Structures are given as C-alpha cells and as structure tokens.
C-alpha cells in the first residue's frame, strides 16, 4: 500500500527555491535557473568576490501588485502584475512589459537579470528590469486593455521614471500600450514625460528605426560572425524560426545583404526551399493570410525540423527553450544567432560547444532593440531627434564594438561567446559596484 508520508526534499539546503513555484527539482526550462547557471560559470571564472556575487545575484526590487479592473460586462476582475528591477548601479532600470498568461515571478526575474547583462554587454548606462501582467489579452477588448494598463501603471508608478525605471514593449504589448503608460504617468506628474517609456509612436517621441532595431542588430552580429569564421556573407544560407517583428526583419535584411534565406516559420509551421525564398513575397502572403501556412513556394517544415536544417546560420527568433539537451545534437548550423530571449537551455550549451557551433548569445545578438530604446530615451531627454540613417549608423557601431569585445573576452579566457558575454557584462556591473561602494 503506498505511503501517505510526504516525499522528503532532497535538494541542498542552499539550493534556489522559486518564490512562486516550489519545484521538486530545477527543470531544464526554468528561465531563472538557466540564467543563474551561466552567471555562476562567468562569476567563477572572474573570481568574483563572494559579497559582490550575492549583490549581483539578488534583484534590487521585486514588486507584485493586484490590478483590479471593470470588464465591459460590469464585472470586476483582479489580475496580478509583476515588476522586477534587477540592478540599477549603472543607471535607470530598462526592460519590457508583457501581457501573458505564462508570466511568472521566475520568468520576470530571469528576464530582468538578462536585461542587466544585455545593457552592460553593449555598454549602455542602464540596469535591467522586466514586468508583466498575468492575463489573456486576446480575450480582452481594447477598453479593457487600456484600463488594465493604466491601473498597472498607477500601481507601480513609484518606481517608474526617466531616472529610475523605463519600460518598453514586450510580448503582447506595443506602441499603443506604451502611449497609455506614458499618458498615465504624465497625468500623475502633471506634465508630459515622454522619456518614461520607449517603443512609443514616433509622433509621441518614439525613435525612427526602433521597429527594425532588433532584427538589424541580428544582421550586424551575424555578418561579423561570418567574417570571423572566414565564411562568405554573400550566399550564406539562413533559416529563421519565428516570423514576427524580429525574425521577419532579420530575414529581410539578411536577404538584402546577399544571404540566402532558405527557411522561415511562424506558429503555424514553416516553409523550406533550398534554392532560397523570396522574403518580401513571404511577407505579402502573411499580410494577406495572417500566417505562413499554405505558402506555395516551398516545402512545409515543422518548427522543430527547421532548427535541424543544414544551413550556415540559424536564427531562433520565436520562443525560449527551443534548443535543448534533446535536440542540440541534431543542430547542423555553423552559426546560431539568438534573436529570441533564452532560445537555448543551459544543458544544450555544452552540446553545441562540443559540436563547434558558434553561438551568438541572446544578450548580445538581440541587443539592437534596447540600444535604439536607449537612443529614444536620449532623444526624448534632449528634445532633439535623429534621422533614420543616423540611428542605424550609431546602432551598427555599438553592435560591432560589443561583438568584438565579447569575442576578445571569449578568446582571452578560452570560453564560448555566451560565457564571454556574461563575463564582460558581470565585470562591468561589478566594477561599478566596487567604485560606488556599499551604502550602510
């Protein structure tokens, strides 16, 4: 007869226990554990002081708020909102806000930390933050979404501000949501404060080039990686998983650069043509049919299979945890450019390294978005706006410098580009803490 006694917890006493999910064992797809495993490796190689290790591991602030709103039906519903500021030693916290049922404290903490390292990798004067509301935005009217956004903004308004915490769009949020946040904040402050958010409409102080920035950054670092690997840019074959804003623009720009995009996919599946796809034609199809499904000029391929195609460059630009210990050995690409946040699990890293696959990590590869967000913040604060060629030129300079600095760190310490990126970022944040000292 089975025992009714509880199973003893066999984790080590100092093991991390998620504050919102008491996991029996850390799953491979736990975003906080994945981030921390890379952080621990980099910190050990840097001989980071134990005290600083504790400081950099812990978020500055973790905020959980109730977000009550009235639905169109007159019913009151209460949602949960989260905002995490991971580290603000280098400047205001920077990070997106997402509306999604999968939002959790674990996920938001991991993404906030990733933003700290991402901003430090490209040497921006920002720290990291992330936020979200647990909701299903597809089931909500525009009025309900506006009420949700404004109530959430008012609930966390004490931490928001151009000098403290600057949100941006993320999953299921957009320019309109940023406009609501900016307006709510401004109404409380009694004057217009455009620099409180980025990713706004251009007419409200948004930056030209912001929509294309993440995809353009992927192009810049991929081109640099091809040059470093002594591979030709023209004719290099590319597969892109994810045909949203990041993936579609990366595919577009890579094709214009002379690369051959042979496969693209969205949530309905993908299209593969070894002779090359016309990305502009794919975009026209999606504009008419919403999804890639049914596109006639290629062979259907699943989102799983697209990762395993024999290409020079693979761009996972959709979801996290798509390259795992289960499929990493099947990856045939020579270069992986991580357009999405966290597409590769920590357990998969060693497998890819052993295969000699050159991975451009997410905290470098997709940093083009936050870089142009920084440009937007600068322009708002200065009240002077740049033309798009200037934005793109300055973005390329920052991305190239960051790639070269990460590559140099990786070579110096004989580590992967991912660990090199974490080492560069942690070293910069730690250096700021050493200079500032500890307030007591």
The first and second tokens of residue 385, run together, are 């706006």
Which residues on adjacent β-strands are paired with residue 68? 78
- For the chain, the three-class secondary structure string (H helix, E strand, C coil) is CCCCCCCCCCCCCCCCCCCCCCCCCCCCCCHHHHHHHHHHHHHHHCCCCHHHHHHHHCCCEEEEEEEEEECCCCCEEEEEEEEEEEECCCCCEEEEEEECCCCCHHHHHHHHHHHHHHHHHCCCCCEEEEEEEECCHHHCCHHHHHHHHHHHHHHCCCCCECCCEEEEECCCCCHHHHHHHHHHHHHHHCCCCHHHCCCCCHHHCCCCCCCCHHHHHHHHHHHHHHHHCCCCCCCCEEEEECCCHHHHHHHHHHHHCCCEEEEEEECCEEEECCCCCCHHHHHHHHHHHCCCCCCCCCEEECHHHHCCCCCCEEEECCCCCCECCCCHHHCCCCEEECCCCCCECHHHHHHHHHCCCEEECHHHHCCHHHHHHHHHHHHHHHCCCCCHHHHHHHHHHHHHHHHHHHHHHHHHHCCCHHHHHHHHHHHHHHHHHHHHCCCC
Is 251 within 8 Å of 243 (Cβ atoms)? Answer: yes
Name which of 260, 235, 249 is nearest 392 in CA terms: 249
196-224 burial code (b ≥16 CB/10 A, e <16): bbbbbeeeebbbbbbbbbbbbbbbbbbbb
Which positions are annotated as active-site residues? Answer: 130
Helix axes 388-413, 368-382, angle to 10 degrees: 130
């Amino acid at each position: 007869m089975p025992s009714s006694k509880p199973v003893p917890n066999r984790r080590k006493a100092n093991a991390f226990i998620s504050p919102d999910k008491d996991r029996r064992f850390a799953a491979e797809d736990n975003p906080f554990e994945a981030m921390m495993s890379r952080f621990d490796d980099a910190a050990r190689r840097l001989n980071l002081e134990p005290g600083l290790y504790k400081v950099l591991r812990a978020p500055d602030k973790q905020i959980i708020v109730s977000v009550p709103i009235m639905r169109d039906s007159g019913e009151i519903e209460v949602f949960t909102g989260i905002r995490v500021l991971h580290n603000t030693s280098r400047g205001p916290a920077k990070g997106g806000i997402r509306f999604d049922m999968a939002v959790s404290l674990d996920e938001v903490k991991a993404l906030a930390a990733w933003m700290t390292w991402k901003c430090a990798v490209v040497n921006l004067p920002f720290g990291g933050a992330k936020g979200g509301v647990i909701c299903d935005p597809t089931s909500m009217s525009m009025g309900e979404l506006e009420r949700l956004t404004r109530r959430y903004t008012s609930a966390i308004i004490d931490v928001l501000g151009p000098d403290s915490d600057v949100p941006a769009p993320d999953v299921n949020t957009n320019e309109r949501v940023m406009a609501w946040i900016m307006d709510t904040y401004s109404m409380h402050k009694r004057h217009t404060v455009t620099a409180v958010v980025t990713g706004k409409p251009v007419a409200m102080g948004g930056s030209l080039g912001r929509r294309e920035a993440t995809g353009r950054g992927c192009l810049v670092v991929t081109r640099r990686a091809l040059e470093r690997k002594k591979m030709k840019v023209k004719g290099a074959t590319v597969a892109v998983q994810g045909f949203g804003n990041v993936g579609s623009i990366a595919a577009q720009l890579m094709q214009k650069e002379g690369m051959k995009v042979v496969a693209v996919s969205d949530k309905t599946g993908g299209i593969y043509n070894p002779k090359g796809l016309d990305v502009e034609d794919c975009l026209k199809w999606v504009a008419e049919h919403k999804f890639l499904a049914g596109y006639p000029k290629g062979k259907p391929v699943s989102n799983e299979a697209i990762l395993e195609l024999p290409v020079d460059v693979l761009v996972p630009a959709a979801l996290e945890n798509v390259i795992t210990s289960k499929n990493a050995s099947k990856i045939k690409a020579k270069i992986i450019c991580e357009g999405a946040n966290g597409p590769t699990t920590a357990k998969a890293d060693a497998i890819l390294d052993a295969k000699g696959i050159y991975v451009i990590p997410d905290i470098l590869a997709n940093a083009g978005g936050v870089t142009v967000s920084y440009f937007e913040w600068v322009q708002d604060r200065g009240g002077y706006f740049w033309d798009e060629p200037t934005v793109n030129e300055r973005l390329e300079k920052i991305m190239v410098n960051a790639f070269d600095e990460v590559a140099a760190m990786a070579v110096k310490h004989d580590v992967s580009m991912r660990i090199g990126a974490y080492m560069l970022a942690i070293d910069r944040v730690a250096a700021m803490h050493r200079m500032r000292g500890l307030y007591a």
